[in-house]
Each structure stands twice: as C-alpha cells, then as structure tokens.
C-alpha cells in the first residue's frame, strides 16, 4: 500500500502536473540542481554555482489554489466567522483514509526558467568538463506561495479542528488566508501538517537533459533548429515516488 505522503504526491501530480515539495517547507528554487531521493528533491548544486546562465521570470498575477484528495476529506467551517466573519471561526477537518489530504495555498506566483535551450547547452558543456552528472535534474519552475497549508492524514481516521479569533469581518475562504491565524484546537489521529506556512514553494517541476545527448559534441545528432525540446525530458511521477 502506498504511504500517505506518496498518495499526496501522486494525486497532486496527476491533477496539477507539479511535484509537491516534500517536506512542504523544504526550500526549492528555480535553477536548483539535484536528484530525487526518498520521495524528495535533494539539492546538489545550482545552475549559478555551475556558472550556467539562467533567466528566471515570475508571473505577474497571483492565484489561490485549493485541492483535496479525491476522497476521504470533509471540511466544515462553523461559528460566527464562517459567514459574518467576526468572532470565533472554527474549521473541522475529518479524514476518513490514510493519505487523505488538504492543500490550500494563497498568493501563488509561478517562477520559471526562461532560457531552457541555453541551459541545456550549458549542461552539455558542464558534462564535457566533468562537472555534471547525467542523472541530475534541474528545477525548472516553482510556485511560490504567500501562505500555504498542507494537512495529510496518516491514519485511516483522523480529525483536526482549527480555530481563529477574528477581529475584522473575514469570511472563511481558505486555510491559507494570511489574515487568519489558525491554531489547532483539537486533534485526533496521526497526521502531518504545515499550517499557514509563509513564503513557501510547495510545488515545483523539473527537467533533465536527455541521456543520448551526453557525449562529445561531435557525436550529437544534427537535427537543426533551436528547439530545446529535443534535448530535454520531463521525468514522470514514478521516478520521484520510487526514488
């Protein structure tokens, strides 16, 4: 049976296409270079340290994201704060399966590598200089969140009650609302939680330079064009889960 964390990572990836950072508070940045290890990304170095120039862009807008496991989660907001937004707000989360999870993030912005083709060429150069290992991955994009909450049930049944005292009218919209300071008021069963973490990078994606392209420059296939796609691949979720 898959571990609760693997279930969380698999479902996040199969629905959003990004890897869920594990632990959610781990620092992962665009341009990080590393490997998957034990279901986590382990940074080895960075493009900057390898003197491979990288250009990173940041999306202009911000977005909120809420995602729950396909089954096994029930979330109830009660108290004065639920509707009117003044007074005590209480949110009860009932989990009925190991691996059931809640992911809420606010103020998400996408940061991504813009010069993939140049980076791929830089990687090939670094490989020829014995500064790059074929299995290394490059973090190509991350979602930076102003605030994020991740709760994963590790038991087949678990319950968490969060509460907050509201001084201003604040309707309940998210467990990652930076205006609401949630605290745990009741807790049954085993679970992992990151509650209202600030400035996290909870989602990321990776690229890898394709193995056939490693080698002396003169044996690279001549294909023309400057499409970086021919040099790169995207690892699947299994590679992370089985690491």
Partner 1 sequence: MHVYFSHSYRDVAINSYFMGHLVQQNIPLVADQKSKTWCVAKLERYLFQAGSFISIIPKRPSEQDPAGYSPYIAHEIDLARRARTPRLLFVEQQVFRKHETRFPEDTVVFDAGEPERGARTHREAIQTFLAKSRTAEPPLHDLRRDNEAVLVAENLTSLRGVVEDLGELLRREGFNVIRVTPGKQAGALDNVRLLENLWRSELCVFVLGGRLSDTHLALAMAHAHCIPAMRLQYDKLSTDCSPNLQGEIRWSNASDMLMEFREQLSSFRRGFVEPVALAQDTSVKDAMENLGTTVWQPLENQLWNQADGPALLRHVRTNDPIVQDKANSARRQIKADGADNAGREREFALCTALYDGIKRLKYAYETEAQTGTAIGVQKIRPPLLIAQSNAATCIDLACLFGALLEAAGLNPLVLVLRTETMSHALTGYRCQDEPAWAAPTLGDVRRAMNQNDAVFFETTGAVEADAPVIPDEVEPRLDKVLPFLSARASAQRLLQRPDTRLVHIIDVRQLRSA
The residue among 57 and 165 lying less far from partner 1, judged by its C-beta, is: 57
The residue among 218 and 226 lying less far from partner 1, judged by its C-beta, is: 226
The residue among 118 and 185 lying less far from partner 1, judged by its C-beta, is: 118
Structure tokens, 93: 């989360």
Binding-site member from 15, 62, 165, 187 for partner 1 (CB under 8 A): 15
141 lies in the site for partner 1, by CB under 8 A:
yes
Contacting residues for 95 by C-beta, under 8 A, at least 6 apart: 72, 73, 153, 155, 157, 158, 159, 160, 189, 191
Contacting residues for 200 by C-beta, under 8 A, at least 6 apart: 21, 24, 25, 105, 144, 145, 147, 148, 194
Contact 54, 48 (CB under 8 A): yes
The residue among 110 and 148 lying less far from partner 1, judged by its C-beta, is: 110
Binding-site member from 3, 6, 16, 195 for partner 1 (CB under 8 A): 16
Site string for partner 1, 180-219 (x = CB under 8 A): -------------------------x-x--x---------
121 lies in the site for partner 1, by CB under 8 A:
no
- Between the two ends of the chain, the Cα-to-Cα distance in Å is 16
37 lies in the site for partner 1, by CB under 8 A:
no
The residue among 12 and 175 lying less far from partner 1, judged by its C-beta, is: 12
Minimum Å gap between C-beta 175 and partner 1 is 19
What is the distance between the alpha carbons of residues 142 and 115, in angstroms, rounded to a whole number?
A: 15
26 lies in the site for partner 1, by CB under 8 A:
no
235 lies in the site for partner 1, by CB under 8 A:
yes
Which one-letter DSSP state was computed for residue 229?
G
The residue among 155 and 239 lying less far from partner 1, judged by its C-beta, is: 239
What is the distance between the alpha carbons of residues 173 and 117, in angstroms, rounded to a whole number?
A: 41
162 lies in the site for partner 1, by CB under 8 A:
no
112 lies in the site for partner 1, by CB under 8 A:
yes
What is the distance between the alpha carbons of residues 32 and 190, in angstroms, rounded to a whole number?
A: 33
**Which residues on adjacent β-strands are paired with residue 95?**
73, 158
Q: Using CB under 8 A, list all residues that contact partner 1.
A: 12-18, 110, 112, 116-117, 141, 205, 207, 210, 226-239
């Amino acid at each position: 049976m898959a571990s609760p964390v693997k279930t969380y990572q698999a479902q996040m990836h199969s629905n959003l296409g990004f890897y869920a950072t594990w632990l959610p508070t781990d620092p992962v940045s665009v341009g990080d270079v590393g490997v998957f290890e034990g279901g986590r990304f382990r940074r080895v170095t960075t493009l900057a340290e390898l003197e491979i120039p990288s250009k990173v862009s940041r999306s202009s807008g911000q977005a909120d994201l809420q995602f729950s496991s396909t089954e096994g989660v029930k979330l109830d907001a009660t108290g004065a704060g639920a509707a009117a937004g003044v007074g005590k707000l209480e949110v009860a989360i009932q989990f009925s399966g190991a691996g059931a999870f809640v992911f809420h993030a606010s103020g998400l912005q996408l940061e991504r590598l813009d010069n993939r083709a140049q980076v791929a060429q830089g990687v090939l150069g670094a490989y020829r200089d014995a500064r790059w290992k074929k299995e290394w991955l490059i973090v190509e994009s991350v979602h930076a969140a102003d605030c994020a909450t991740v709760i994963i049930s590790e038991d087949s049944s678990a319950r968490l009650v969060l509460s907050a005292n509201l001084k201003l009218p604040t309707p309940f919209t998210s467990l990652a609302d930076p205006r609401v300071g949630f605290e745990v008021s009741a807790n049954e069963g085993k679970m992992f939680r990151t509650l209202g973490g600030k400035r996290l990078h909870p989602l990321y994606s990776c690229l890898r330079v394709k193995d056939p392209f490693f080698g002396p420059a003169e044996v690279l296939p001549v294909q023309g064009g400057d499409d970086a796609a021919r040099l790169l691949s995207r690892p699947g979720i299994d590679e992370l889960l089985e690491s």
